[in-house]
């Protein structure tokens, strides 16, 4: 590699970092991606075959315009890769009628004129027989929801970036970085690099790499489960939308049968275990399965078949569960994207565009005021 400074280094080439690499490479800078593991890998937050994408977003209205752009970019990536990466099933948001998620979804649909239907538990079961929700819950169906093939999306972003001239090093761990005049010096366990801009998309390791993030994010152990349904026909993509379900026993999310593993379910903030990303218990235990099995039996009894697989992953949470996408105030050459709080993957495509904007242009047309480092409740 040339001794001249790079235009940008992307530290962490997972969901967000791989997208950033492509958007940087499209603008012809000299860009290097550094990843401490293989690409993709199973140590962070982007593995497990699938991730939900939903347009009716209850968490905050500011997410919906970003999602519209994310959908556009995911379809562009599909065209580049020559394969389907986004499977549309529709999405179901379910919960008590006065709950924050239901009120938020309905407000998003109203504000942005999103197609939707509202069901009680009985009519939801008639429409989608795999759902058997308690009578005190309602559901909002939005037909644009679905799921992304998460590892395939990373590979597609990476391959497209490489074709445009990006360089990527795997199994290379960053030791430290420092601002040196008008450049940033990045030292790894193999070499030292100089760059004009550093983009940090290190997922669960972000707090270890950026001191300003350390008090703002926590890493949480998460477990998802796949099962073979008793009635597989009720849980196929054409008959079973992805879901976010808010009940008195927690908030659950899940997917129809896809591939060989079966029906997939997880619980947000699974057992609320805060962990060090370098020392995670990745063995799945009976209590991990029990909390998910109970939800299956209560809400989706026709899916209550044999367990196919349990797998751990990691959430990196902020206190308000909104993202952090910003430059460091004292070192604006450093761009950070972190704290995606278990709901960020669907935004990878547009976050990559935003990160390239911030690194190369110093700003972005997208409204990211919700995600500043200095925000206040």
Assess whether 163 and 249 both reside in one domain: no
Q: Is 50 among the catalytic positions?
A: yes
Residue of 23, 30, 116, 264 marked catalytic: 264
Assess whether 157 and 306 both reside in one domain: no
Assess whether 168 and 210 both reside in one domain: yes
pTM of the model: 0.97
Residue of 30, 47, 152, 322 marked catalytic: 47
Assess whether 312 and 264 both reside in one domain: yes
Q: Is the peptide bond before 275 cis (omega within 30 degrees of 0)?
A: no
Assess whether 199 and 137 both reside in one domain: no
Whether the CB-CB separation of 110 and 278 falls below 8 Å is answered with no
CATH of the domain at 242: 3.30.9.10
Domain that holds residue 310: 91-143+218-317
Residue of 43, 50, 195, 201 marked catalytic: 50
On whether residue 104 sits in a domain, the answer given is yes
On whether residue 78 sits in a domain, the answer given is no
On whether residue 27 sits in a domain, the answer given is yes
pLDDT value, residue 3: 65
On whether residue 76 sits in a domain, the answer given is no
CA–CA separation, 20 vs 27, rounded Å?
11
Last residue of a domain, one of 296, 317, 338: 317
Burial 49-59 (b: 16+ CB within 10 A, else e): bbbbbbbbbbb
Assess whether 307 and 326 both reside in one domain: no
pLDDT value, residue 329: 86
Strand order in the sheet with 146-149: 50-53, 146-149, 86-88
Residue of 208, 269, 293, 333 marked catalytic: 269
Last residue of a domain, one of 281, 299, 317: 317
Nearest-CA neighbor of 158 among 27, 45, 10?
A: 10
Burial 67-81 (b: 16+ CB within 10 A, else e): bebbbebbeebbeeb
Q: Is 47 among the catalytic positions?
A: yes
Q: Is 327 among the catalytic positions?
A: no
Assess whether 268 and 339 both reside in one domain: no
Q: Is 208 among the catalytic positions?
A: no
β-strands 8-11, 198-200 pairing: parallel
pLDDT value, residue 28: 85
Q: Half-sphere exposure (CA, 13 Å, Cβ side) for 195?
A: 27
CATH of the domain at 156: 3.50.50.60
pLDDT, averaged per 10 consecutive residues of the chain (377 residues), comes to: 81 98 94 98 97 97 98 98 98 97 97 98 98 98 98 98 98 96 96 97 97 96 98 97 97 96 97 98 97 98 98 97 95 95 98 98 97 82
DSSP-derived 3-state class of residue 94: strand
Assess whether 308 and 263 both reside in one domain: yes
Name residue, tokens 């992307």.
Answer: 10
Assess whether 252 and 307 both reside in one domain: yes
On whether residue 345 sits in a domain, the answer given is yes
Assess whether 262 and 192 both reside in one domain: no
DSSP-derived 3-state class of residue 145: coil
Name residue, tokens 């999602």.
Answer: 67
Residue of 51, 116, 221, 270 marked catalytic: 51
Assess whether 191 and 289 both reside in one domain: no
CA–CA separation, 377 vs 375, rounded Å?
7
Whether the CB-CB separation of 258 and 226 falls below 8 Å is answered with no
**Domains in the chain, number:** 2
On whether residue 365 sits in a domain, the answer given is yes
Q: Is 51 among the catalytic positions?
A: yes
Assess whether 34 and 16 both reside in one domain: yes
DSSP-derived 3-state class of residue 56: coil
Residue of 313, 327, 343, 366 marked catalytic: 313
On whether residue 296 sits in a domain, the answer given is yes
pLDDT value, residue 375: 84
């Amino acid at each position: 590699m040339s001794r001249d400074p790079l235009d940008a280094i992307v530290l962490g080439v997972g969901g967000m970092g791989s997208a950033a690499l492509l958007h940087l490479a499209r603008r012809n800078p000299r860009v290097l991606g550094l990843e401490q593991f293989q690409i993709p890998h199973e140590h962070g937050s982007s593995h497990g075959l699938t991730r939900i994408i939903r347009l009716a977003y209850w968490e905050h209205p500011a997410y919906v315009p970003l999602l519209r752009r994310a959908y556009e970019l995911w379809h562009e990536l599909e065209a580049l890769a020559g394969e389907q990466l986004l499977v549309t099933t529709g999405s179901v948001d379910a919960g008590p009628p006065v709950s924050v998620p239901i009120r938020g979804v309905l407000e998003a649909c109203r504000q942005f004129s999103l197609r939707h239907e509202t069901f009680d538990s009985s009519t939801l079961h008639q429409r989608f027989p795999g759902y058997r929700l308690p009578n005190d819950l309602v559901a909002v169906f939005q037909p644009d929801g679905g799921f992304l093939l998460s590892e395939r999306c990373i590979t597609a972003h990476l391959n497209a970036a490489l074709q445009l001239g990006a360089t990527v090093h795997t199994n290379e761990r960053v030791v430290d970085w420092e601002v040196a005049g008008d450049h940033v010096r990045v030292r790894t366990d193999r070499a030292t690099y100089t760059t004009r801009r550093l983009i940090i998309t290190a997922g669960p390791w972000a707090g270890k790499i950026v001191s300003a993030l350390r008090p703002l994010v926590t890493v949480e152990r998460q477990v998802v489960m796949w099962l073979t349904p008793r009635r597989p026909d009720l849980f196929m993509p054409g008959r079973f939308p992805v879901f976010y379900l808010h009940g008195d026993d927690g908030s659950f999310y899940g997917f129809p049968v896809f591939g060989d593993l079966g029906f997939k379910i997880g619980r947000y903030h699974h057992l609320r275990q805060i962990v060090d990303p370098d020392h995670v218990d990745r063995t799945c235990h009976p209590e991990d399965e029990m909390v998910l099995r109970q939800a299956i039996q209560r809400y989706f009894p026709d899916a209550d078949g044999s367990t196919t697989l349990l797998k751990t992953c990691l959430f990196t949470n902020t206190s308000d569960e909104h993202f952090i996408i910003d430059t460091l105030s004292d070192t604006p050459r450093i761009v950070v994207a972190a704290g995606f709080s278990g709901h960020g993957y669907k935004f990878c495509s547009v976050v990559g565009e935003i990160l390239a904007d911030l690194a190369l242009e110093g700003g972005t047309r997208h409204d990211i005021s919700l995600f500043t480092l200095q925000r206040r409740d």
